Amino acid sequence: MRMKQLISSLVVGACAMMALSSAATASDMTGAGATFPYPIYAKWAETYKASTGNGLNYQSVGSGAGIKQIKAKTVDFGASDAPMKAEDLDAEGLMQFPAIMGGVVTVVNVPGLTPGQLKLTGPIVADIYLGKITKWNDAGIAAINPGVKLPAEDITVVHRADGSGTSFLFTDYLSKTSPDFKSKIGAGTAVKWIVGVGGKGNEGVAANVQRIKGSIGYVEWAYAKKNKMQHTQLKNKDGNFMQPDDEFFKAAAANAEWTKTPGFGVVLTDQAGKNSWPITGVSFILMHKVQPDANKGKEVVKFFDWAFKNGGKSAVELDYVPLPDSVVKLVQESWKANLKDASGKALY
């Protein structure tokens, strides 16, 4: 039943966003960036429009492009799954706050396997993306999958071709679990991949994995579920093989030190805890502290304030994790302290 709700919500949300985009007016809010939170932003936008009459035109173009657009002031807000550093925020006159949390999963196209059957570890995935493991029946993969019939199939690596917060989360996790990956590729929204083919957005990676037999990729969990893809288990920091689930995303965020991290720039990859999903992430919103258009700025704040108060159910249905109430309060306080119009008047 939950899968049906997920697919229905995603389809409705996507259609709503396409309608919003095509019918955008001068009074609509505009945003651009991360593909990771696109399904929930689409659903929130649909419901908010029905409730208030105010529209949102959000371009799911990747975190890197979202950061560029907010710097250039061509949108009212940017969205990124990789937090900007405090010094970079200050240099651009920006503020940053978390909007939603969720998980990134590894997905494969291996004949004979069912979703969630294959077990992988960070070091093994790193070696695959380094081109060191090239066959699905590799001894290292076979050792942690006793009884699973693994084909002697070549592995095709699929990665993001655009600047991506999802790539940041994925490469940050691999850098934390593999010193070799950290030294040769490292963590970032855009890295120099050694092997593989690229796909634009979560959508492009998902499409390539589904098309290419023997492939492996990484996508946001909602995309994997929507497309009924073969996700894998991953071994977490405490040594437990985990299936992706919003409760395990929540567990990874349980000990996050929001107040001690400038700009809320918490990174939730490879967190300790027996139930922590190892590639959990936060999606962030970027806004100019001094708003070029005070009315638009107020509307963006109203939208996310509404989402925090009314969008939790939709978030859970789409396998995201709403922010804890304590974090929402911190975000609201940051709005009061940072967002101003040209005269210096607070927008919230």
Total domains, the chain: 2
- pLDDT higher than threshold 90 for residue 272: yes
Does one domain contain both 297 and 198? no
Is 316 part of any domain? yes
pLDDT class for 2, splitting at 50, 70, 90?
very low
Is 276 part of any domain? no
pLDDT class for 10, splitting at 50, 70, 90?
very low
Does one domain contain both 127 and 201? yes
Does one domain contain both 69 and 115? no
State pTM to two decimals. Answer: 0.85
Domain final residue pick, 227, 262, 297:
262
Does one domain contain both 162 and 307? no
Does one domain contain both 58 and 120? no
Question: Could you tell me where the beta strands, DSSP code E, fall in the chain?
Answer: 29-33, 56-60, 77-80, 94-108, 119-120, 156-160, 197-199, 215-220, 230-231, 233-235, 241-242, 280-288
Query: pLDDT tens digits for 91-125?
Result: 999 999 999 999 999 999 999 999 999 999 999 99
CA 5 → CA 40, 222, 290, 312, distances in Å? 13, 12, 40, 15
Query: pLDDT tens digits for 25-69?
Result: 557 999 999 988 999 999 999 999 999 999 999 999 999 999 999
The CATH number of the domain holding residue 149 is 3.40.190.10
Provide the residue range defining the domain that includes 300: 2-101+282-338
Does one domain contain both 237 and 121? yes
Lowest mean pLDDT among 1-5, 71-75, 245-249: 1-5
pLDDT class for 21, splitting at 50, 70, 90?
very low
Is 213 part of any domain? yes
Q: What is the rounded distance in angstroms from the CA atom of residue 122 to the CA atom of residue 65?
A: 28
Does one domain contain both 71 and 176? no
Q: What is the DSSP string of 231-298?
A: E-EEE-TTS-EE---HHHHHHHHTT--GGGSGGG----BT--STT--SBEEEEEEEEESB-SSHHHHH
Q: What is the per-residue pLDDT for 26?
A: 57
Tokens of 41: 């932003």
Q: Which residue has the higher pLDDT, 254 or 277?
A: 277
Is 253 part of any domain? yes
Query: pLDDT tens digits for 155-172?
Result: 999 999 998 889 999 999
Is 273 part of any domain? no
